[in-house]
Amino acid sequence: MKKHIVCFGDSNTHGYCADSGDTADGGTRFNEDERWTCVLQKLLGEDYLILEEGLSGRTTVFDDPIHGDLAGIDYISPCLISHEPVDLLIIMLGTNDVKERLGVNAPAIGVAMQRLIRQAQNTLCWTPRGQNILVVAPPPIGEGFFDPVMGDGCRERSLGVAAALKEAAALTGVHFLDAADCEFNPIDHMHLTRKGHGQLAGLLAKTVPLLV
């Protein structure tokens, strides 16, 4: 059986494209030659099965009062069970948690990630090797960000997310990778460009074989 790698994230895992000119198809989602999950599959080869589980707007544990059914904690267990046996879970979340209406800061996001990790660790889905999780910190929201729906202070809160997630990973005994150098677009300042998708796939292609 191939090694099952579950990629659990938000719009940057789903492949949302903020600039239609940045994707060959001219749409709002990067295609299968561009999304980091699909590029990672090609880089790792046929011994791996990369399973895309990206949902735009997904948070770690927080319920969004405007857009429902987005809390990762509510879906992580059935998601993992549906893909068992799981060799590695990659979690890349945190950007949506900084929305003003959710009212949480970076340290609280770190604690929320701990809860999400522990839920995953306690799910009966793993190969005999046991629980294996990699937390990826998304790049912080860029300068010039403005989204009245997400609200004020998002960029400032996002600057502390990577450190909070790193601490969460350490406290729960899982792996950590900072994707800060992966390129965000200059349109909305919070979604990966096609280049950024390639950069993230390259980082993970070097990391994943060391973990499974």
Q: What is the mean pLDDT of the chain?
A: 97
Whether 190 contacts 95, CB under 8 Å: yes
- What letter represents residue 50's amino acid? I
List the domains of the chain with CATH numbers: 3-211 (3.40.50.1110)
Taking the C-alpha atoms of residue 31 and residue 52, their distance in angstroms, rounded to an integer, is 13
Q: Nearest 5°: phi and psi at 65?
A: -70, -15
- Predicted confidence at residue 28, as pLDDT, reads 97
* 3 close to 87: Cβ distance less than 8 angstroms: yes
Contacts of residue 90, defined as CB under 8 A and 6 or more positions apart, other chains included, come to 5, 6, 7, 8, 9, 133, 134, 136, 204, 208
pTM for this entry: 0.98
On the 0-12 / 13-18 / 19+ scale of CB atoms within 10 A, 67 is middle
* Burial call 175-184: b when 16+ CB within 10 Å, e when fewer: bbbbbeebbb
Give the pLDDT confidence of 111-161 residue by residue, as tens digits.
999 999 999 999 999 999 999 999 999 999 999 999 999 999 999 999 999
Interstrand relation of 88-92 and 133-137 (parallel, antiparallel or unpaired):
parallel
Spatial neighbors of 11 by CB under 8 A, at least 6 apart, are 54, 55, 56, 57, 58, 191
Number of helices (H), then strands (E), belonging to the chain: the values are 7, 5
What pLDDT does residue 189 have? 96
Q: What is the pLDDT of residue 192?
A: 98
Q: Quote the pLDDT of residue 184.
A: 95
Helix (H, G, I), strand (E, B), or coil: what is residue 89?
strand
